[in-house]
Amino acid sequence: MRAAVLVAPKRLELHEIEIPAPGPGAIVVRVRAALTDGTDLKAYRRGHPQMPMPTRFGHEFSGDVVAVGPARAAGTAPAFAIGDAVACVHSAPCGRCYWCERAEEELCESVMRTKILGAYAEYVEIPAHIVARNCYRKPPEISYAAAAFLEPLACVVHSLDILYAGARTALAGAQTVAVLGDGGFGLLHALLLEAHGTVALLIGRRPERLALARELGLRHVLDGRASDFREAVPAQTGGRGADAAIECTGKAEAWEAAPSLVRRGGTVSFFGGLPAGEGVCFSAARLHYDEVRLLAPFHFTTGAVRRAFDLLASGALGVERLISRRFPLERIADAFACLDGGEGVKFAIEP
């Protein structure tokens, strides 16, 4: 089978490798759609500590089951059958460690070590622990491309779980959340906030993405190039500042600006990760005397995956509109060159 391999920064190659054979409880999936995301683009540009090169990569996908491994225990039936269309994520918690026992599955001691990569390929094996916890049958009424949003949407669902739990007041109704960043994750956050009844104030700098945000029905969109958003957000909120802010750019300057966007008693959530070793500076007085709360959500839980799947199955969010272009697998290098040049939001790779 063909599989994309990142052999060095900005150097992608298609390699011929063997089709995997599923182990006990595992399945092999014929990939029908794999989506690009910000983590993949970061890895493409500069490498990633979780993806030492050369590496297969890609982790947002859906497809069809083509092989099923033997049952893990005698007398048990496989969870899926050949021909099933599935949507799944690339990791699952162990359910046994210190963090899993305390309902902190996203921090499971093995969740990153046992994740899978390699969705930019014709086939991918889904190991038993993911099949058992985070794999679902795709409803026929949603496309493979829409189903591939399961992983990023689960991240956003978990992100908002952390935000709602950590905020001082309920973030609904007249509450306002500023979202920094008009990429895929910024748009998904804004869409889900609005679906929850929260006012999402999306801040971005790319005209085509801001236009897409308006087409998606987002009512409060700020062009960060036209005005200083640190002044525009208070102007939109009666001078107080937003009730919360979510940083989705993964840039240090946005991390440092985010606390200035919220009101006294507000909450800041740092969703976009920074490169390893990079530090940021905040005003201690602002955080202390104004009781500004700082959060940093990571990954997702099995509950977040379940709710993300239900959202996708409902079709309520219209996530497929975030796909700017589609590429066959043999043009994956072209796709990442376009992303690196600032084109599009998310691309679908269709082997």
**28 shares its domain with 129:** yes
pLDDT value of position 76: 64
pLDDT value of position 172: 59
For the chain, how many structural domains are there in total? 2
**196 shares its domain with 283:** yes
**172 shares its domain with 276:** yes
DSSP 79: S
Please check whether residue 313 lies inside any domain of the structure: no
**32 shares its domain with 84:** yes
pLDDT value of position 174: 66
| HSE-up of residue 20 (Cα within 13 Å, Cβ side) | 23
Asked if the bond preceding 54 is cis, omega within 30° of 0, the reply is yes
**168 shares its domain with 243:** yes
Please check whether residue 104 lies inside any domain of the structure: yes
Distance between CA atoms of residues 283 and 265, nearest Å: 15
Give me the CATH number covering residue 234: 3.40.50.720
CB 286 within 8 A of CB 261: no
| Residues of the chain falling short of pLDDT 70 | 73-77, 168-174
**197 shares its domain with 106:** no
**140 shares its domain with 233:** no
**9 shares its domain with 141:** yes
Residue of 203, 204, 202, 200 whose CA lies nearest to 174: 200
**77 shares its domain with 101:** yes
Distance between CA atoms of residues 186 and 125, nearest Å: 30
pLDDT value of position 344: 92
**14 shares its domain with 143:** yes
| Verdict on whether the full-model pTM lies above 0.85 | yes
Domain boundary among 295, 310, 333: 295
Please check whether residue 301 lies inside any domain of the structure: no
Range of the domain at 192: 155-295
Please check whether residue 63 lies inside any domain of the structure: yes
Please check whether residue 277 lies inside any domain of the structure: yes
Residue 18: Cβ within 10 Å count: 8
pLDDT value of position 169: 67
Map tokens 């049958």 to a residue: 137
**71 shares its domain with 201:** no
